[in-house]
């Protein structure tokens, strides 16, 4: 659920820190945006991993020369014995609870043997629980995910991830918070997730009540944006 508006600034922060030569790169939780960015850096070799089969066709189109692997970080055989100059984890830690519950606490130890030089992380601070309309949008999204019987993402603060990095034997080099300025794209993106969950509700009356609520909330939220709300974080670490 990355707010697209921030991405250029986040990736530019890594570009400026890293310099021109990227060597071999692993996109440890790949998607259109991170893979497109990494390909634009002309790395010597580019590998991407995703747990989601629906992403595969699009990813092959975005970066035909990249090696894109459908796999699970819980599988010890995934990329066994391979090392990369740079490993990127772009909005991966927050998404792991949806794919491999509780594995986020082991993820940094799991990728450590694959990092020859740098690990670059992007994440979202947990959403502010401030009763604002954007807070409401995110709570309705999560309620719909849960009523559909699916699992939500779980985001972690930068300071928690910095502590995990130290525990996993990484040395943090630099980090930064980027406040998010959110608009209609964010509101529609989050509420569209909620709408896509409605067919999975077991109770049709609850689904139609939720649908009406989403319509009302969407109008209210769209009238209140843009707003600065929440923040992304970036961390650069040495392996």
Ligand X SMILES: C[S@@+](CC[C@H](N)C(=O)[O-])C[C@H]1O[C@@H](n2cnc3c(N)ncnc32)[C@H](O)[C@@H]1O
What's the min distance (Å) between Cβ of 159 and ligand X? 21
Round to whole Å and give the CA distance between 28 and 92.
8
Binding marks (x or -) toward ligand X, 32..71, rule CB under 6 A?
xxx--------------xxxx--x---------------x
CB 90 within 8 A of CB 34: yes
Stretch that binds ligand X, among 27-35, 133-141, 185-193, 229-237 (CB under 6 A): 27-35
When asked if residue 91 is in the footprint of ligand X (CB under 6 A), the reply is yes
Round to whole Å and give the CA distance between 62 and 27.
13
Round to whole Å and give the CA distance between 124 and 155.
6
Instruction: Phi first, then psi: give them for residue 228, nearest 5 degrees.
Output: -90, 120
When asked if residue 90 is in the footprint of ligand X (CB under 6 A), the reply is yes
Bridge partners (DSSP) listed for residue 50: 70
Question: Which parts of 153-182 interact with ligand X (CB under 6 A)?
Answer: none
Round to whole Å and give the CA distance between 187 and 222.
7
What's the min distance (Å) between Cβ of 4 and ligand X? 9
Nearer residue to ligand X within complex by CB, 14 or 91: 91
What's the min distance (Å) between Cβ of 111 and ligand X? 10
What's the min distance (Å) between Cβ of 50 and ligand X? 3
Instruction: Phi first, then psi: give them for residue 222, nearest 5 degrees.
Output: -65, -30
Binding site for ligand X (CB under 6 A): 2, 29-34, 49-52, 55, 71-74, 90-92, 95-96, 99-100, 103
């Amino acid at each position: 659920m990355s707010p697209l508006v921030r991405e250029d600034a986040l990736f530019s922060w890594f570009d400026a820190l890293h310099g021109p030569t990227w060597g071999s790169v692993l996109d440890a939780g790949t998607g259109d945006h991170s893979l497109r960015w990494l390909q634009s850096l002309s790395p010597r070799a580019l590998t991407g991993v995703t747990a989601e089969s629906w992403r595969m066709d699009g990813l092959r189109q975005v970066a035909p020369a990249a090696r894109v692997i459908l796999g699970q970080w819980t599988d010890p055989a995934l990329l066994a014995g391979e090392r990369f100059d740079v490993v990127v984890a772009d909005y991966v830690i927050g998404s792991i609870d949806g794919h491999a519950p509780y594995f986020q606490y082991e993820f940094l130890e799991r990728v450590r043997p694959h990092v020859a030089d740098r690990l670059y992380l992007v994440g979202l601070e947990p959403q502010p629980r401030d009763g604002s309309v954007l807070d409401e949008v995110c709570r309705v999204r999560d309620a719909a995910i849960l009523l559909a019987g699916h699992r939500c993402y779980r985001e972690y603060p930068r300071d928690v991830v910095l502590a995990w990095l130290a525990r996993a034997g990484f040395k943090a080099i630099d980090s930064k918070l980027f406040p998010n300025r959110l608009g209609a794209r964010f509101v529609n993106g989050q509420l569209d997730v909620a709408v896509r969950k409605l067919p999975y509700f077991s109770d049709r009356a609850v689904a139609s009540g939720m649908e009406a609520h989403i319509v009302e909330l969407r109008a209210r939220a769209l009238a209140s944006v843009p707003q600065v709300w929440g923040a992304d974080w970036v961390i650069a670490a040495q392996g």
